[in-house]
């Protein structure tokens, strides 16, 4: 069984060493100065160790006022911690100064800067616990910026909450900073901290947690988080986000502010028991973890039925076996957590009974690496602090790497100097004096240090990932009393888990079985498919899809209708597709909120709106271009141009969304609380990306709204009712503006009903677009079909009556055959008997008849010049019609005359009075006007054809009027079946 010992309380750790070669002590520098000196800054808690210069062999700068040469630093004290990390950084600098292949001819020096002030007191040495830097941090940054020697980069060992402000300010002034101890996930945000990087495996940490749970088959876990701690809060938030994305259910999230007390423990127990949770993740500092384990253990939340997982050693401030004591510190290996000594009366002799089985994740180096022991020996040969707090001497086998992780600061310093050297090689024209003035610092963000082909002091590659963190494998350690047992490891990318072959037990007391995963119905307020709100959303989604399907059926059924064809059927289908995308986004409001689903939901809403609105804009601009003028045009180039514009606008929206998604990453999912229960909301990740990203979407949607206003203006020039969509566009603009305002307010004031309200808002907006465009067309087509049916009925009745009269006229002519020559004179004529349907036939026969009956019927088809006329008309108190195409006919019954335009779909009759005016408008156009009753416009291919048709029309009118005047008798009917011009 492989046992790994970690330093706890007063225990020293012995390492199994191997004899290896060799990391040599660099010794004093003997390099000749040829170019000058280069200064880097060492940032540490020097306020607790004012005599650091007395303990160091090299020259340095310190502004501390109290510098005794006798040190009170001990191995297990905070001053000792500061000393060991300062020593590691100095060893790296000495190595560079003695290596002619690194920064040749340049002497590297260091400047010390305290992140906790320059005033030392004995009380401060025993009470400082890494508080927020505040004024001291601001002064430290000012000293770095104004240092006369010119500090090019800094290396730090500080708490996460201490370095937060300094890291941001140093990034602003483009000063690279490498940290060996800051572990908060916030520093992985390279948009905010582009010049901050670290020797810390943080970016994939939450992935390692999920890897362990997946190996165990665990699907539910609770979270206890130290809310007011920088590390505990942010690590917990990162783990929560990752586990939710991976499908792990968070059964309870318990945030504790301050020290966990009895009431907090009772509250945590109630949630764990009521949700029947058996796996708990603790995110906090070491003392917080120890408090949680001990107090919950006292409440019987312990044993084989519960598994606790964490990132810190559960070591309290003081000896946990003796209760209240003022004792020393523990610095825990690669977790980089510092526990300081204060009085703590919480624990007792049963402490380790409740720690038993706790699983800790730690990024630890390979202890079998030969350079591991070699580096420890180098440190032992140079240290000047070798006493423990109890007065005993430091063992020569003490493991500085596993206990303090000083190799991280050594590697930080080496990478900093190697990165500066790389920038200087890339800019040979810049001399060292300009480098000291930070002329090249613009090129020294974290990417400059990502891959310098440097193998760390332990022989392991040190390459930074895209978040400025170093990738390292993780060890999963199970606690047995005061020691730990390796139960498995993971690779640096958190993709593979390897259980330990030497350990057969899993958790408590060698048990080989895990506790049950448990099950509970969470008290979560959600719009899932089982809730009333979720069922309403499903109903609205189905109703919207039904509208879209009916719209497509309608378009397919009446695709040959001139009203739909004038509205452009491809554009109508595209609008329906855009509305379908909008309705499809609604279903994601009832699915579990994850960053991926939030991305899909926002994509569907944005794409659907973009497709529908862009198509409406381009369609109306195209119709206005074609039909807004007096002359009808059918240029293919206009149609192609506007459809290409539509595709470009939609493609622009897709590009904008992809760019923002790539720069910002997926949306964040936050858990919120209300009196009705917990709920989850999707929030745009505005912390990432440049400031202008927020304005890109605003610009794009502003472009769409501007297009709607332009289309509204252009549509008002279209005079046809069925093609003028200005009213629909105005309604869409109004509803879209209201929807945008409502969605913005809902995003700013989130509660448990926010998603449902957003869903209703999206549904209303999508439905308004669909009904404004497709619904209005359906209503127009319905009225057209009703009118067409009515006209067909009237025409049928008229043709029946005309056929009857024609039959009567033929019979009368047969009886009066003897008078035919006298009646027709020289003109002669032929009487042809035809059925009642002959009046609508294409082939006409000349018939000149006189019938001495009550009325006169005459009929002429103007088909000699053109077979069909292109026309539009405007009747009294109505708007202009669409352009139509039909056969022009003239009727005369008794003393009344009509124009009749006959097509396959409709018949348009117009009464002819004596005041009829026929005008030649030029450009192949004629206008027929009958007072205020109606106006007819006719358009022909050329002036010649228009002139020929005008003459044909005038002759036909003259012939009908002459025949009507000559042959009208009281009991006569004169039928002219067709006048062949």
Q: What tokens does 268 get?
A: 């945590």
The confidence band for 130, taking pLDDT boundaries of 50, 70 and 90, is low
And the tokens for 244?
A: 């939710």
In 3D, which of 599, 545, 605, 608 has the Cα closest to residue 575? 608
Count CB atoms within 10 A of the CB of residue 655: 12
Lowest-confidence region among 307-311, 631-635, 652-656 = 631-635
627 pLDDT above the threshold of 60: yes
Q: Could you give phi then psi for residue 904, rounded to 5 degrees?
A: -70, -25
Residue reference for tokens 């000749």: 32
For 853, the enclosing helix (H) or strand (E) is none
Mean pLDDT to the nearest integer, 807-820: 58
How many Cβ atoms sit within 10 Å of the Cβ of residue 48?
Answer: 26
Does 224 score more than 90 pLDDT?
A: yes
State the DSSP code for 886.
E
User: What CA–CA distances, in Å, run from 392 to 74, 80, 188?
Assistant: 10, 15, 41
DSSP-derived 3-state class of residue 470: strand
Distances (CA, A) of 578 to 304, 541, 545, 582, 778: 56, 14, 12, 6, 18
Which pLDDT score is estimated for 857?
A: 65
Other beta carbons within 10 Å of 265: 21
For residue 92, the number of C-alpha atoms closer than 13 Å in the C-beta half-sphere is 26
Return the pLDDT at 670: 67
Percent above pLDDT 90 for the chain = 8
More confident residue, 16 or 525: 525
The answer for residues whose C-beta is within 8 angstroms of residue 252's C-beta and 6 or more apart is 222, 223, 271, 272, 275, 277
Cis-peptide into 264, omega within 30 deg: no
> What CA–CA distance (Å, rounded) separates 91 from 236?
35
Under 8 Å between Cβ of 112 and 46? yes
Residue that the structure tokens 């400025």 belong to: 468
Convert the pLDDT of each residue in 107-119 to its tens digit.
999 999 888 877 7
Q: Give CA 714 to chain center in angstroms.
A: 35
Q: Which is it for the CA torsion 533, 536, 540, 541, positive or negative? A: positive
| Residue 675: strand, helix, or coil | coil
Cα 237 from Cα 687, distance rounded (Å)? 15
pLDDT, position 678:
58
Of these ranges, 521-535, 903-917, 942-956, the one predicted with the greatest mean pLDDT is: 942-956
CA 20 to chain CA centroid, nearest Å? 53
Distance CA 271, CA 275 (A): 6
> In the structure encoding, which two tokens stand for residue 421, read together?
């050297």
- The pLDDT value given to residue 152: 92
Question: Is the predicted pLDDT of residue 49 greater than 60, yes or no?
Answer: yes
Question: How large is the average pLDDT for residues 36-61?
Answer: 73
Cβ atoms 85, 110 nearer than 8 A? no
Query: What H or E segment, with its residue span, contains residue 534?
Result: helix 532-557
Assigned superfamily of 532-787? Rhodopsin 7-helix transmembrane proteins (1.20.1070.10)
Instruction: Say how far apart CA 771 and CA 778 lie, in whole Å.
Output: 9
pLDDT in tens, 745-771: 887 777 778 888 888 999 998 999 998
Task: Please state, in angstroms and rounded to a whole number, the distance separating the CA atoms of residues 334 and 472.
Answer: 10
Among 491, 490, 520, 486, CA closest to 503: 486
How many C-beta atoms surround the C-beta of residue 745 within 10 A? Answer: 11
- Residue 908 structure tokens: 């348009």
What integer is the mean pLDDT of 365-374?
A: 77
**What is the CB neighbour count within 10 angstroms for residue 258?**
11
Q: Which of 132-146, 750-764, 812-826 has the highest mean pLDDT?
A: 750-764
**Cα torsion at 852, 857, 861, 864 (round to 10°)?**
30
In 3-state terms, what secondary structure has residue 290? Answer: helix
Count the Cβ atoms, other than its own, within 10 Å of residue 689.
Answer: 19
Please state the domain extents for the chain: 39-61+68-199+400-449, 205-378+473-506, 532-787, 865-872+880-905+913-964
Asked if residue 271 has pLDDT above 70, the reply is yes
**H, E, C per residue of 3-53:** EECCCCCCCCCECCCCCCCCCCCCCCCCCCCCCEEEEEEEEECHHHCCCHH
What is the three-state SS of 100-139? CCCCCCEEEEEEEEECCCCCCCHHHHHHCCCCCCHHHHHH
588 class by beta-carbon count within 10 Å (0-12 exposed, 13-18 middle, 19+ buried): buried
- What value does the mean pLDDT take over residues 834-855? 37
Q: Which residues contact 750 (CB under 8 A, 6 or more apart)?
A: 672, 681
pLDDT digits (tens, 9 = 90+) for 452-491: 888 877 777 888 888 888 888 888 888 876 677 888 888 8
Asked if residues 713 and 734 have their Cβ atoms less than 8 Å apart, the reply is no
Q: Which residues of 8-39 are buried (b: 16+ CB within 10 A; e: fewer)?
A: bbeebbebebeeeeebeebeebebeeeeeebb
- The tens digit of pLDDT for each residue in 872-911 reads 888 877 777 878 888 888 877 766 788 888 876 677 888 8
Cα-Cα-Cα-Cα torsion 518, 522, 526, 532, nearest 10 degrees, comes to 100
Q: 971 pLDDT band (50/70/90 cuts)? A: very low
Distances (CA, A) of 811 to 805, 806, 831, 851, 976: 10, 9, 11, 10, 16
pLDDT at 280: 93
Q: What is the 3-state secondary structure (H, E, C) of 643-672?
A: HHHHHHHHHHHHHHHHHHHHHHCCCEEEEE
Q: Give the pLDDT band of residue 855 (cuts 50, 70, 90).
A: very low
Query: How remote is the C-alpha of 182 from its chain's centroid?
Result: 30
Dihedral of the alpha carbons of 860, 865, 867, 870, in degrees to the nearest 10: -100
Q: What is the pLDDT of residue 810?
A: 65
Hey, is 348 helix, strand or coil?
coil
Query: What tens digit of pLDDT does each residue of 785-802 get?
Result: 787 777 777 777 777 777
> Cα dihedral angle (554, 557, 561, 563), rounded to 10 degrees?
10
CATH node for 205-378+473-506:
3.40.50.2300
Domain 39-61+68-199+400-449 sits in CATH at 3.40.50.2300
How large is the average pLDDT for residues 946-960?
85
Nearest to 893 by CA among 974, 966, 835: 974
- As a whole number of angstroms, the distance between CA 620 and CA 598 comes to 33
Same topology, domains 205-378+473-506 and 532-787? Answer is no
More confident residue, 971 or 393: 393
Please check the confidence at residue 417 and state whether its pLDDT lies above 90.
Answer: yes
Q: Is 127's pLDDT higher than 70? A: no
For residue 218, what are the contacts with CB-CB under 8 A and spacing of at least 6? Answer: 248, 279, 514, 517
Q: Which of 513, 511, 530 is nearest to 521 (CA)?
A: 530
Q: Burial, 726: exposed, middle or buried (Cβ in 10 Å; 0-12, 13-18, 19+)?
A: middle
16-25, 189-198, 633-642, 811-820: least confident range: 16-25
CB 341 within 8 A of CB 318: yes
């Amino acid at each position: 069984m492989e046992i790994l010992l970690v330093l706890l309380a007063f225990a020293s750790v012995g390492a199994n060493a191997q004899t290896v070669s060799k990391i040599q002590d660099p010794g004093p520098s003997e390099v000749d100065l040829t170019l000058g000196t280069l200064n880097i800054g060492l940032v540490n808690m020097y306020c607790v160790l004012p005599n650091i210069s007395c303990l160091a062999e090299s020259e340095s700068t310190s502004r501390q006022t109290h510098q005794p040469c006798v040190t009170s630093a001990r191995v297990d004290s905070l001053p000792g911690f500061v000393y060991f990390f300062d020593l590691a950084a100095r060893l790296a600098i000495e190595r560079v100064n003695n290596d002619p292949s690194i920064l040749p001819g340049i002497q590297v020096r260091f400047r010390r800067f305290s992140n906790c002030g320059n005033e030392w007191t004995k009380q401060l040495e025993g009470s400082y616990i890494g508080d927020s830097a505040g004024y001291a941090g601001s002064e430290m940054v000012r000293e770095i910026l104004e240092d006369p020697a010119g500090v090019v980069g800094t290396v730090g060992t500080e708490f996460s909450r201490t370095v937060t402000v300094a890291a941001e300010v140093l990034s602003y002034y483009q000063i690279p900073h490498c940290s060996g101890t800051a572990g908060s996930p916030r520093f992985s945000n390279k948009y905010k901290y582009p010049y901050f990087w670290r020797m810390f495996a943080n970016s994939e940490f939450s992935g390692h947690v999920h890897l362990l749970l997946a190996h165990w088959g665990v699907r539910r876990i609770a979270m206890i988080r130290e809310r007011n701690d920088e590390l505990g809060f942010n690590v917990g938030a990162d783990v929560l986000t990752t586990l939710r994305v991976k499908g792990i259910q968070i059964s309870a999230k318990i945030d504790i502010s301050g020290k966990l007390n009895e009431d907090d423990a009772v509250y945590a127990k109630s949630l764990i028991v009521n949700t029947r949770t058996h796996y708990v993740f603790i995110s906090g500092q070491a003392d917080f973890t120890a408090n949680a384990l001990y107090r919950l253990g006292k409440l019987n939340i312990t044993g084989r039925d519960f598994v606790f997982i964490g990132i810190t050693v559960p070591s309290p401030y003081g000896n946990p076996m003796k209760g209240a004591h003022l004792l020393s510190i523990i610095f825990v290996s690669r977790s980089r957590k510092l526990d300081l000594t204060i009085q703590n009366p919480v624990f007792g002799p049963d402490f380790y009974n409740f720690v038993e089985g706790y699983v800790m994740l730690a990024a630890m180096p390979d202890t079998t690496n030969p350079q591991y022991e070699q580096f420890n020996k180098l440190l032992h040969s140079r240290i000047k602090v070798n006493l423990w707090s109890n007065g005993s001497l430091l063992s020569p086998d003490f493991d500085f790497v596993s206990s303090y992780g000083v190799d991280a600061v050594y590697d930080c310093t080496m990478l900093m100097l190697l990165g500066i050297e790389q920038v200087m090689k890339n800019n040979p024209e810049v001399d060292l004096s300009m480098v000291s003035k930070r002329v090249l610092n613009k090129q020294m963000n974290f990417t400059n240090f990502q891959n310098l082909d440097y193998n760390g002091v332990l022989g392991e590659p040190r390459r930074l990932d895209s978040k400025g963190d170093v990738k390292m494998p993780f060890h999963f350690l199970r606690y047995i009393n005061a020691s730990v047992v390796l139960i498995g490891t993971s690779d640096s990318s958190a993709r593979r888990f390897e259980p330990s072959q030497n350990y057969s037990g899993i958790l408590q007391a060698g048990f080989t079985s895990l506790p049950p995963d448990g099950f509970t119905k969470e008290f979560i307020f959600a719009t899932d498919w089982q809730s009333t709100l979720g069922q309403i959303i499903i109903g609205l989604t189905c109703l919207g899809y039904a509208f879209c399907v009916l719209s497509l059926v309608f378009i397919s059924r009446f695709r040959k209708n001139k009203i739909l064809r004038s509205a452009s059927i491809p554009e109508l289908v595209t609008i329906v597709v855009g509305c379908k995308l909008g309705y499809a986004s609604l279903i994601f409001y009832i699915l579990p909120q994850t960053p991926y689903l939030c991305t899909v939901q926002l994509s569907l809403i944005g794409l659907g709106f973009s497709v529908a609105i862009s198509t409406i804009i381009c369609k109306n601009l195209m119709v206005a271009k074609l039909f807004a003028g007096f002359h009808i045009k059918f240029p293919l180039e206009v149609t192609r141009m506007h459809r290409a514009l539509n595709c470009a606008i939609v493609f622009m929206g897709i590009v904008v969304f992809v760019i923002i998604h790539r720069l910002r990453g997926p949306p964040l999912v936050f858990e919120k609380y209300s009196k009705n229960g917990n709920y989850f909301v999707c929030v745009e990740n505005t912390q990432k990306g440049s400031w202008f990203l927020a304005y890109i979407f605003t610009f794009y949607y502003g472009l769409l709204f501007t297009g709607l206003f332009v289309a509204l203006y252009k549509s008002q020039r279209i005079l046809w009712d069925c093609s003028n969509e200005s009213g629909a566009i105005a309604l869409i603009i109004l509803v879209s503006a209201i929807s945008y305002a409502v969605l913005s307010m809902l995003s700013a004031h989130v509660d448990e009903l926010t998603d449902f309200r957003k869903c209703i808002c999206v549904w209303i907006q999508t439905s308004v677009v669909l009904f404004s465009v497709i619904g209005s067309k359906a209503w127009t087509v319905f009225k057209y079909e009703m009118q067409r049916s009515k006209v067909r009925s009237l025409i049928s009745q008229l043709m029946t009556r005309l056929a009857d009269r024609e039959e009567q006229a033929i019979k009368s002519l047969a009886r009066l055959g003897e008078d035919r020559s006298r009646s027709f004179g020289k003109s002669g004529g032929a009487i042809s008997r035809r059925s009642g349907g002959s009046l609508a036939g294409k082939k006409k026969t000349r018939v000149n008849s006189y019938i001495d009956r009550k009325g006169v019927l005459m009929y002429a088809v103007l088909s000699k010049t053109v077979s069909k006329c292109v026309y539009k008309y405007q009747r009294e108190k109505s708007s202009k019609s669409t352009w139509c195409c039909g056969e022009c006919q003239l009727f005369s019954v008794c003393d009344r005359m009509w124009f009749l335009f006959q097509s396959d779909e409709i018949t348009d009759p117009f009464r002819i009075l004596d005041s009829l005016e026929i005008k030649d408008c030029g450009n192949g156009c004629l206008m027929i006007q009958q007072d205020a009753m109606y106006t007819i416009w006719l358009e022909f291919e050329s002036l010649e054809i228009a002139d020929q048709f005008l003459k044909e029309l005038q002759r036909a009118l003259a012939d009908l009027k002459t025949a009507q005047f000559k042959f009208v008798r009281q009991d006569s009917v004169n039928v002219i079946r067709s006048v062949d011009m």
